[in-house]
Amino acid sequence: MKSFVTSALFATAILFSSAAIAVSGNDWRAASTKNRLLEVTRILENIKNKGCTVKRSPEYFVRQLNDVYAESSVRSMELPKALALIATGAGENWDC
């Protein structure tokens, strides 16, 4: 039960910590590597400021997002939702 609750808290923190709600996979793919890393770092810092611990690096999440958005069928998914899916799949790499 704790795992489900903390997964939900972490996903919620991601969804509400990003100002880039409208950024899609197509936007992600068009962004430079530097801008991708800056956006993920900003989101993770906001999550940490909400009291969550993130054990994976921003680079890890950028690589995962690159893999997710390589699939054309999910490119309409907004960045915070894709990041939340990745984070909840990462399991023990964070805690809220």
The tokens 């893999």 sit on which residue? 67
pLDDT per residue over 44-67, tens digit each? Answer: 888 888 888 888 899 999 999 999
79 touches 28 (CB < 8 A) = yes
H or E element: which one contains 33?
Answer: helix 33-49
Choose between 52 and 29: higher pLDDT: 29
H or E element: which one contains 94?
Answer: strand 94-95
Q: Report residue 5's pLDDT band, with 50, 70 and 90 as the boundaries.
A: very low
| Region of poorest pLDDT, from 11-15, 16-20, 32-36, 69-73 | 16-20
Is 24 strand, coil or helix? Answer: coil
% of residues, the chain, pLDDT over 90: 34
* HSE, side-chain direction, 13 A CA sphere, residue 87: 30
